[in-house]
Amino acid sequence: IDRLNNSNDMRVSSFFAGIGGFDLGLERAGMSVVFQCELDPFCQQILNRHWPHVPLHDDITTLNPATIPTADLWCAGWPCQDLSTANTERTGLSGKRSGLFFTFMDLVREVRPAWLVMENVPGLLSAEQGAALETVIDTLEANGYLGGWVSCNAVDSGLPHNRDRVFFIASFRSERAYHFFTDSSELSGNTAARESSKAQTRPDFRQIALRDNPLVVQRRGGFGYTLAKSICPTLRAQTGGHQGGHSDRPILCGEELDMDRVGATDGVSSRLDGRRGRLIGNAVVPTISEWIGKRILEIEILEQKNMATDRSSINPITS
């Protein structure tokens, strides 16, 4: 129990790490990141800045499993482009990018970490007429991992935008992951606090009437203001032949984007541009990964307590 209470003991390897959303949340939960894998050069700069002492590999397809440090948990938000409903020509897990799921699982098969936590878009549930989801689950089970999946939205953690994602939580040759789904409920853990947090993101009547606090949104065509909704839509990546939602050319009703004004009201950095917007939109919400990490630590500690109780109940053999 004391071992698991040590914040540096439960070790994490992060794959498709992006800007470190999984990593940040799991560290806040009390875990320690010991390895990262990320291909994007700009993301690598961010990871090196915040985790300067953590080994960082670039291309997962060239990764030797023997070089991955020992870790209790592997997390992976593998590419979603071939699964997302925003892609009208999505090819599912057979796609070049989303198919890296199988590359990741090849590494898992060699190393067999105790826990897997994976993330992707809700489009996974419908891709290939549902066959993609079955393939993911079947692949996990074929490699000895038991667990399930849960859909989590950023707004449920109190953040002022909709970003629904699917998370898989599984444990190797153990039913421990089942406790994650049978024993947990609200994402926040406090319904009143969550509702209060959500309410704070909505402008009051005076703000709406005076237009002092416009909400920044991203649509096809660029940034802009809107009062139509009180929650920002998900930041979107560029798809197909359309100008992406992350365009740094603000076009909406001819109004230019005043980042200083928006930053004061919505907490958006004045340094936000198309590149940063894309990375934020692709990132795992740290609040959600923190919640997942805390639940896993609780399960591990409970498992240790039960094992200790079982050992203490065994009477030694006396002659």
* CATH code of 79's domain: 3.40.50.150
Residues 131 and 224 placed together within one structural domain of the fold? no
Cα–Cα separations (whole angstroms), residue 182 to 69, 140, 283, 304: 31, 19, 27, 19
Closest residue by Cα to residue 117 from 145, 80, 143, 83: 145
Residues 293 and 206 placed together within one structural domain of the fold? no
Strand runs (DSSP E) across the chain, as ranges? 11-15, 32-37, 56-57, 73-76, 115-120, 145-153, 164-172, 215-219, 222-226
- Confirm whether 318 is domain-assigned: no
Active-site choice (43, 80, 152, 232):
80
| Per-residue confidence (pLDDT) for residue 259, from 0 to 100 | 53
| Per-residue confidence (pLDDT) for residue 268, from 0 to 100 | 54
| Per-residue confidence (pLDDT) for residue 244, from 0 to 100 | 39
| Per-residue confidence (pLDDT) for residue 26, from 0 to 100 | 98
Task: List Cβ neighbours of 248 (8 Å cut-off, separation of 6 or more).
Answer: 222, 223, 273, 274
Residues 220 and 71 placed together within one structural domain of the fold? no
Quote the DSSP letter at residue 186: -
Residues 14 and 122 placed together within one structural domain of the fold? yes
Give the N- to C-terminal CA distance of the chain in Å, as an integer.
Answer: 33
Distance, in Å, from the CA atom of 291 to the CA atom of 28, rounded to the nearest integer, reads 9
Residues 143 and 20 placed together within one structural domain of the fold? yes
Distance, in Å, from the CA atom of 30 to the CA atom of 8, rounded to the nearest integer, reads 7
Quote the DSSP letter at residue 244: P
**Domain span including residue 95:** 2-193+284-310
- Confirm whether 9 is domain-assigned: yes
- Confirm whether 251 is domain-assigned: yes
Residues 142 and 169 placed together within one structural domain of the fold? yes
- Confirm whether 317 is domain-assigned: no
Residues 163 and 303 placed together within one structural domain of the fold? yes
Active site residue 75: no
Token code pair at residue 220: 């096809």
Residues 138 and 216 placed together within one structural domain of the fold? no
- Confirm whether 85 is domain-assigned: yes
Place of tokens 């789904």: 181
- Confirm whether 92 is domain-assigned: yes
Domain total for the chain?
2
- Confirm whether 44 is domain-assigned: yes
Q: Taking a C-beta distance cutoff of 8 angstroms, is the pair 273, 248 a contact?
A: yes
Residues 172 and 236 placed together within one structural domain of the fold? no
Bridge-based pairing of strands 215-219 and 222-226 is antiparallel
**Residue-by-residue pLDDT tens, the chain, 319 positions:** 344 444 448 999 999 999 999 999 999 999 999 999 999 999 999 999 999 999 999 999 999 999 999 999 999 999 999 998 878 788 999 999 999 999 999 999 999 999 999 999 999 999 999 999 999 999 999 999 999 999 888 888 877 677 889 999 999 999 999 998 886 554 444 445 445 544 443 333 233 333 444 444 444 444 444 444 444 455 444 444 433 343 333 333 334 445 555 555 455 566 666 667 677 778 899 999 999 999 999 999 988 887 777 776 665 655 4
Token code pair at residue 165: 């994602």
Q: Taking a C-beta distance cutoff of 8 angstroms, is the pair 229, 207 a contact?
A: no
| Per-residue confidence (pLDDT) for residue 231, from 0 to 100 | 45
- Confirm whether 121 is domain-assigned: yes
Residues 262 and 232 placed together within one structural domain of the fold? yes
Q: Taking a C-beta distance cutoff of 8 angstroms, is the pair 205, 212 a contact?
A: no
Residues 262 and 293 placed together within one structural domain of the fold? no
| Per-residue confidence (pLDDT) for residue 254, from 0 to 100 | 39
Angle, CA 275 vertex, CA 235 and CA 36 arms, to 5°? 90
- Indicate the residue type of 172: F
Residues 208 and 295 placed together within one structural domain of the fold? no
Q: Taking a C-beta distance cutoff of 8 angstroms, is the pair 215, 230 a contact?
A: yes
Q: Taking a C-beta distance cutoff of 8 angstroms, is the pair 31, 297 a contact?
A: yes
Distance, in Å, from the CA atom of 63 to the CA atom of 56, rounded to the nearest integer, reads 11
Task: List Cβ neighbours of 109 (8 Å cut-off, separation of 6 or more).
Answer: 143
